[in-house]
Every structure is written in structure tokens, then in C-alpha cells.
Amino acid sequence: MPTEPVRPEVSVGNGAASGASDKPRQRSYDTVHVIGPGAVGRALLERFAGDRRRVIAVTDSTATLHDPRGIDPRAVIEWKREGRALRDHAHAQSMPSAQAVGHVDADVVADASATDLDRAEWTAALGAALARGACVASAAKAALCEAGAEWLTGEHRRRVGCNAVLGGTGRSFIGELPELQQRTRGIAIVGNASTTAILDVVERGGTLAEGITEAQRLGFLEPDPELDLRGTDAAVKLAIVAGIVTGRRIDPRTIACTDIRAIDLLAVRARARRGAATRLIGRLSGTGALGVSYEEVPRDSVLAAPCGRVVYEYRLDRDERRLHLGTGLGADATAGALWSDVRALAAEAASRTRQTAGAAR
């Protein structure tokens, strides 16, 4: 990877932040900090190549590359495709990821990192970025589990994006959130595409191992496949939407889940023969109970989502329901959903800034 396209900022020595203020500043919303240059992050960086917005920093789990004048996205893509950590780059700055967010202080933070429910100080770092006036678009789920209800109902709500987190349905969710908060009486989601892909193989007579291989081939499995197999990923997504709708934090680790390795594969095939489907469904009941389990559903039910699609069903008062269907799955589609958030959030924030400046004059 050529070093010229990635120019170093002044070294920060011991890793201390380089003067990023905790107060909002005037922003143009054209600088971006990409967190996590894995498969999703690289697909996102590809979209920035030639875009007017500048990627001024990229952070992986080992280090950060930062240049206020801009970084060549394709150079970073090539570096990571070769399997090299950013800490091995001559211009890398070593500091915790949470500290790097404040140090860089980009207008937009695009979080394409893997979901880690035990990631220390990450939610606080993103919250501090929002407090400084930045936008946060996320494909990672942990911070939204912890602070989604606060962020999306408070002063930062117009600068937070969860489109990629919810399989491409996040912008619809946020757009309808005031109504959903008032009228929702129950939630049912089929939000985990990997288990649907596995079940499709099993329904056709394949083994569980063959189904897992197929989900991997399609790019639906999380970097840690156990999150999908144990039902944890579905529980996290349920915790996010249920927590935001009800205005409270829900720890996904408290939600009972069924491991796909514990289900009866013969029963799955029998249901398919009689025209039904099996899906992993996360539910919030009218009593507030939460759970994630495999259920039999009619093949013509909206919850019998085909492989490659997710469904978020909100049961409203007056026997109405609201459906959000998404196809933002796999690395490229997830990056596309994240990219749409980055563009929309930045454009909306920049427009509000111009309007405020014009009113002040």
C-alpha cells in the first residue's frame, strides 16, 4: 500500500486526544471517520472513493489512520484486503478506538465495526461525538442497545442513523417513530437472515452444517457466528426496537433465546412438507414480555420472510399493524444501508446549519 495517500497528522505521543472540544462547533458535515474496515467497512470505503466527502480517519481494533486533508479509501481497502492490521502502517496512531473518535472529531462517524456488547466506553464515545454536533451512522448494534432510546428521542435524534442495524428498515423506523411510540402494542421481528438461510437448507433436506455453510457463503453470518446460532443477534435487534419504542434500555442478555442447534430438524422439514415455514421470531408482547424462539408460521404470512429479507412488524392499537421490510443484508447491502444514512444525515445536518446561519444574519 503506498504511504503517500495516507498522510499523518501530528503524532499524539501517549495517545491523548488532540484538543477536541466537548462543545458543538460549526460543521460542514463533509468529513467522515470510518470505524471497522472489515467486509462492511471496506464496502463502505469503496463508496467514498470519488465522493465529495472526505474520509479523514479509519480505525480498526489495533490503530487509527488520520489525516485532516483526507485519506485514499482504496489504499486502505487494499491494505486490509492483504490481511494487514492498521498498527503495521507507518502512519498509524495507536490509541483505543473510543479515544480515537474524540481525537479525530469528524463530522460523521460511520461505525461498521462488529457488535460487541462488552465494548468498554464505546457508547460514551459516540454520545460525546453527538454532543459535539457530529452525526453517528451505525451498522454495529451495541451502542443503540444501550443508548438508542435516549439518542432517538432526545436532542440528537436527527443525527443518529440505524438503517444498517435494522437491515435497511432503520430510516422507515425513525421516520415513523413518534407514531410507533404512541401506538405500538406488540412487536414481531424476523431480523436474522442467517437463520432463515440455514432453515431454507434444512427444509430442503440439508443438514445444519450445510445450512451454516450456505449462510456463510451468502455473507449473512456475523463475524462471530455464535451470535446468530445462539439467537443473540435477533435478541439484540429486538432489544433495540423494543427499547426505543418503549423508551427504556433493554439488555439483550436478559432475553430468552433458542439456539438453532437445539431445534428439531425433522419438525422443520415436516412443517415445510405441509406448506408451513419455521422462522426465528423476536417478540415483544402486549404485557411487555420479550422472547426469541423458532416458530411455525403459515407460508403466506409476512413473517415467513424469504431468504435475504427481514421483517419488522409493529402491532398498533385499533387492530392495525405497520410493516417494515428490508433487504440490507450481507456486507455490500449493509454497507449500502450505512452509506444511505451517512449521506442523508450529513445532508440534513448541513442544511440545518445553513438555515441557522442564515437566520442569524
Let me know whether 190 and 119 are in one domain: no
Separation between Cα atoms, residue 236 and residue 191, nearest integer Å: 10
**pLDDT one-digit tens code per residue, 281-315:** 999 999 999 999 999 999 999 999 999 999 999 99
Let me know if residue 98 belongs to a domain.
yes
Per DSSP bridges, beta strands 321-326 and 310-316 are antiparallel
Let me know whether 254 and 304 are in one domain: yes
CATH number (domain holding residue 192) = 3.30.360.10
Let me know whether 40 and 157 are in one domain: yes
Let me know if residue 21 belongs to a domain.
no
φ and ψ at residue 318, rounded to 5 degrees: 60, 30
Structural domain containing residue 47: 31-164+331-360
pLDDT at site 23:
67
Let me know if residue 16 belongs to a domain.
no
Separation between Cα atoms, residue 316 and residue 319, nearest integer Å: 6
Rounded to two decimals, the pTM is: 0.90
Amino acid symbol at 102: G
pLDDT at site 127:
97
Let me know whether 190 and 302 are in one domain: yes
Let me know if residue 346 belongs to a domain.
yes
Here the cell at position 294 is 423458532
Separation between Cα atoms, residue 206 and residue 282, nearest integer Å: 25
Separation between Cα atoms, residue 165 and residue 268, nearest integer Å: 28
Let me know whether 249 and 270 are in one domain: yes
**pLDDT one-digit tens code per residue, 144-174:** 999 999 999 889 999 999 999 999 999 999 9
Domain total for the chain?
2
Buried b (16+ CB within 10 A) or exposed e, 22-56: eeeeebebebbbbbbbbbbbbbbbebbeeeebbbb
Let me know whether 319 and 338 are in one domain: no
Let me know whether 223 and 137 are in one domain: no
Let me know whether 87 and 197 are in one domain: no
Alpha-helical (H) ranges within the chain are: 39-48, 73-81, 97-104, 122-131, 142-151, 170-175, 177-183, 193-203, 208-218, 226-229, 232-246, 265-273, 330-360
| DSSP class of 154 | S
Let me know if residue 245 belongs to a domain.
yes
CATH number (domain holding residue 136) = 3.40.50.720
Let me know if residue 191 belongs to a domain.
yes
Neighbours of 96 (CB within 10 A): 16
pLDDT at site 188:
98
Let me know whether 148 and 199 are in one domain: no
Q: Which residues contact 319 (CB under 8 A, 6 or more apart)?
A: none
pLDDT at site 154:
86
Let me know whether 290 and 336 are in one domain: no
Let me know if residue 217 belongs to a domain.
yes
Let me know if residue 22 belongs to a domain.
no
Separation between Cα atoms, residue 250 and residue 144, nearest integer Å: 10
Here the cell at position 285 is 408482547
Amino acid symbol at 360: A
DSSP 167-216: TT-HHHHHHTHHHHHHHEEEEEEE--HHHHHHHHHHHTT--HHHHHHHHH
Rg, the chain, Cα only: 21
Q: Give the residue ranges of the chain where pLDDT is below 50.
A: 1-19
Let me know whether 129 and 219 are in one domain: no
Let me know whether 74 and 121 are in one domain: yes
Separation between Cα atoms, residue 98 and residue 103, nearest integer Å: 9
